[in-house]
Amino acid sequence: MPASQGSTASSALGAFVANSRWEGIPPSLRHEARRSLLNFLGCALGASSDPAVASAARVMARFSAAGRATVIGRPERLDEMGAAFVNAIAGNLFDYDDTHLETVIHPTAPVAPPLLALAEMNGHTGAALLHAFVLGAEVECRIGTAVSPGHYDRGWHITSTAGVFGAAAGCAKLLGLDAAQTAHALGIAASQSAGIVENLPTAAKNVGMGNAARNGLLAALLAREGYLAAPTAIEGPLGWARAMGDMPDLARITDGLGSQWEFSRNTYKPYPAGIVFHSVIDACLELRARVAPGDIASVTVEGDQLLLDRGDRPIRTERDCRVSIHHAAAVALTKGSAGLEAFSAEALHDPEVEALRRKVRPGLDAGLPRGAARVTLRLADGRELTSLVADARGSAARPLADSELEAKFRKNCARVGRGAEAERWIAEIWNLEAEMEPAGLIRSLGMDGWKVEG
């Protein structure tokens, strides 16, 4: 139905992606793409030795054509679908990646991995890789805005459910699909969109992330083979937006397409924890400079309902730590830092942290804006100290500087013994737009590259 396709969400996005030219992407957005990749690659490296990543790589290695694409930080080489699956899991594993705050999508982890695999395999340029990534992330965020906030509230893990569209769009661009094929790829993605919030504290969450990356690639490949989807797969009466959301605002998908960029609103996490806990951590780090942990009698953490819904929960595992008000406050106050080590198994079982966790009381202050937190310490001597953080470090109001992203990247590299390569990688990522063959960079991020060159 070519005549009617111009009017559907898939066809509008398909035309946007297929017709986009790199020259038309604003320089600030190109730089944001590099920042996102730097941040993602560091996070994936930092998580690359985690058992969850190792297990995923082991399973995928059994179901992979002769190894071709790099698994970041690991010795396996897998086919593009397998590498996309594992790298998406690694990039998001520690809740340390990036966030489109309105939707709470973590944009890069589902979109970049299949593009990195295709670029490595097919020899695309750095500019082509960045271009496909920007477009994929934009499609992902726009589709997410159309169903937010009802979609997440209903139980959908939006990074996975919207991510598959972004991966499909980016892969369609890199594979050179035309507008109609790209529209069908997005429609096929609609039939693969999955992932539930209930599973967030478990590894099942990671499966949703990996599938978004892997199945987005599959959507583009099947569309290239001639597979079709309903033109109204996204907005039809029995389509994606209505099945998965309660009051979709479909205009958000296309309004200002190509002139306003949702992806420009991407932000980066300074702490490996759920985004709503970042202001809690900032407040506690500020208070830590004024008090000794042993003097604290009680800790009150106030925020909006979202903070309580997400973070007032029992703690059993490291995963729980990353989405816990109690742990975020206790570890920041105890250690005076909130890096990866603050959310490790050691920190979980640290007696000092455990003791302080028991003194933390979450409380509702519905008057606080989303993302804000007020932390009040009552000390053994009766004094009371308060810190209010309206905008967390790394939020849109206080974005991380390039230098802060570099420092984060270095720490992630050092965590897995790759610190010696960090400076070269940083330089190569900043230079990606001019790189004619980024396959060498991508390959060097694997374990083979490290053995040869490290």
User: Applying CB under 8 A, does 219 fall inside the site for a second copy?
Assistant: yes
Distance CA 366, CA 300 (A): 15
User: Applying CB under 8 A, does 117 fall inside the site for a second copy?
Assistant: no
User: Applying CB under 8 A, does 71 fall inside the site for a second copy?
Assistant: no
**19, 204, 255, 384: residue in contact with a second copy (rule CB under 8 A):** 204
Site string for a second copy, 244-273 (x = CB under 8 A): x-----------------------------
**101, 203, 306, 315: residue in contact with a second copy (rule CB under 8 A):** 203
Q: Closest separation between CB of residue 67 and a second copy, Å?
A: 10
Q: Closest separation between CB of residue 36 and a second copy, Å?
A: 24
**30, 102, 178, 194: residue in contact with a second copy (rule CB under 8 A):** 194
**36, 182, 215, 395: residue in contact with a second copy (rule CB under 8 A):** 215
Of 63 and 260, which has the nearer Cβ to a second copy? 63
User: Applying CB under 8 A, does 315 fall inside the site for a second copy?
Assistant: no
User: Applying CB under 8 A, does 149 fall inside the site for a second copy?
Assistant: no
Of 78 and 405, which has the nearer Cβ to a second copy? 78
Of 125 and 191, which has the nearer Cβ to a second copy? 191
Per rule CB under 8 A, count of chain residues that contact a second copy: 65
Of 130 and 222, which has the nearer Cβ to a second copy? 222
Residues that bind a second copy (CB under 8 A): 1, 51-52, 55-56, 58-59, 62-65, 79-82, 154-157, 160, 184, 187-188, 190-208, 211, 215, 218-219, 221-222, 225-230, 232-233, 236-240, 242-244, 316
